[in-house]
Structure 1
Amino acid sequence: MIKARPVASDKRAGFNFLKELFLYVWRKYLDYAAIADIHSIKRQIHAYKNYSQIAAYGHNIKLG
C-alpha cells in the first residue's frame, strides 16, 4: 500500500492531484494473474522472514 497526503499549502489542489493519481496506481479490476502475483510475493516474504504465523507484538503488517 502506498500512503500519500498533500504537503503543499493548497490542500484542494493536493487532494485533486491524489484523486487523479489514484486512477493510475490501482487497477479497476484484478485479474487472476495479478492475484497470483500477489500470492507469490506474499509467499516469498513469508519464506524470507521465516514466518509461520502472525505475532501480535511487533508484527509488521506490510511484510506479513
Structure 2
Amino acid sequence: MTSAYIMGAEKAINSDRFPQRLEMAKKFAKAEVINYKKLNAGETLEDYRTYALTKWQKSGLIKSIIH
C-alpha cells in the first residue's frame, strides 16, 4: 500500500477479515480499512468512490460525475 502513495494516491484502502492485519494496514500504511466480515466491501468502496468524485467535482478537478 505504501507504493500506492508513492505513485500519487490520495488514499489507500485495505479489505481483510483479520483485525490484526487491518490494524497493521492502518498503522503502517495509513490505509482506510474494511473488515468484510462486518461491512459489505462493495458498498463501502462505492461510498468511497462517490465521496471522492463529489469532492473532485466541487474542487473543479472534474466537470461531471459519471456513474
TM-score, with normalisation over the residues of structure 1?
0.37
Larger strand proportion, structure 1 or 2?
2
Give 1 or 2 for the bigger CA radius of gyration.
1
